Chains A and B, each alone.
Chain A
Amino acid sequence: GEDVEQSLFLSVREGDSSVINCTYTDSSSTYLYWYKQEPGAGLQLLTYIFSNMDMKQDQRLTVLLNKKDKHLSLRIADTQTGDSAIYFCAETRNNNAGNMLTFGGGTRLMVKP
């Protein structure tokens, strides 16, 4: 199984809020990331949060971090059809040579008009 876990699928109506959840295992992670992948494309960095923060807001995006429960969430306000994509959370695990990203399996967000 994945060390970083996400639900597979989320469906919302246009204009509603979307909340995508993620649980991770490494309490020493320094950064946690959210990436967006549209069909046939690479991963686009959406936002990230440093592990000493519990919330970060960036326009329609709000990231919440609960370190005690190792739970990360991404809230998208006023979800649009263009937000339909796969969303990946990832945690960093530092080793001597670099930062290793460990990804969840991705949550497919479908936005219905």
Chain B
Amino acid sequence: DAGITQSPRHKVTETGTPVTLRCHQTENHRYMYWYRQDPGHGLRLIHYSYGVKDTDKGEVSDGYSVSRSKTEDFLLTLESATSSQTSVYFCAISESRGETQYFGPGTRLLVL
């Protein structure tokens, strides 16, 4: 998976609790992305980063925040998890603008 790890790989949490997912890369790629995957929707972009401390919203950003304090780590936070955020979350990286994106193994999140 192109030097991309995600943690945790599985998580069960309760509605209203905060959750942070971590994406770590060893490729020194500038761009990092968070997607969620739901049946019938393919993957939808939540947030992305184009450099340290540089982030922007994607298609489905409501209820999520991100942070990137160093090149290798991109964190996705659900401030107060809801059942609609039950999903599989994928991180991706790309070397530069317009380059191919490579995906991590995913984090399966269940919000009860």
Binding site for B on A (CB under 8 A): 2, 4, 8, 30-31, 33, 35, 41-45, 48, 88, 90, 92, 94, 97-101, 103-106
Residue from A45, A88, A90, A94 in contact with B102 in the complex, judged by beta carbons closer than 8 Å: A45
Measured between beta carbons, the chain A residues less than 8 angstroms from B45 are 100-101
- Inter-chain contact B48/A42, CB cutoff 8 Å: no
Q: Knowing A42-B1, A42-B90, A105-B40 are in contact, say whether A97-B48 is a contact too (CB < 8 A).
A: yes
Measured between beta carbons, the chain A residues less than 8 angstroms from B82 are none
How many residues belonging to B are interface residues under a CB distance threshold of 8 Å?
27
| B99 nearest CB neighbor, chain A only | A99
Most interface-central of A8, A103, A104 (chain B CB within 10 A): A103
SS of A interface (majority): strand
Measured between beta carbons, the chain B residues less than 8 angstroms from A100 are 45, 48, 58
Q: How far does the alpha carbon of A94 sit from the alpha carbon of B54 in the complex, in Å?
A: 17
Q: Knowing A41-B106, A42-B103, A43-B90 are in contact, say whether A94-B42 is a contact too (CB < 8 A).
A: no
- Inter-chain contact B90/A104, CB cutoff 8 Å: no
4 extra interface residue pairs, beta carbon distance < 8 Å, beyond A41-B106, A43-B103, A45-B101: A42-B105, A100-B45, A101-B92, A103-B44
- Inter-chain contact A88/B90, CB cutoff 8 Å: no
Q: Knowing A92-B98, A99-B94 are in contact, say whether A2-B105 is a contact too (CB < 8 A).
A: no
Q: How far does the alpha carbon of A92 sit from the alpha carbon of B40 in the complex, in Å?
A: 20
Measured between beta carbons, the chain A residues less than 8 angstroms from B92 are 101
- Inter-chain contact B40/A48, CB cutoff 8 Å: no
Measured between beta carbons, the chain A residues less than 8 angstroms from B100 are 31, 33, 45, 48
Q: How far does the alpha carbon of A92 sit from the alpha carbon of B31 in the complex, in Å?
A: 14
B 51-69 to A, binary, CB cutoff 8 A, 1 in contact else 0: 0001010100000000000
B97 on the A face (CB < 8 A) = yes
Q: Knowing A45-B102, A92-B98 are in contact, say whether A98-B42 is a contact too (CB < 8 A).
A: no
Residue from A30, A35, A90 in contact with B98 in the complex, judged by beta carbons closer than 8 Å: A30
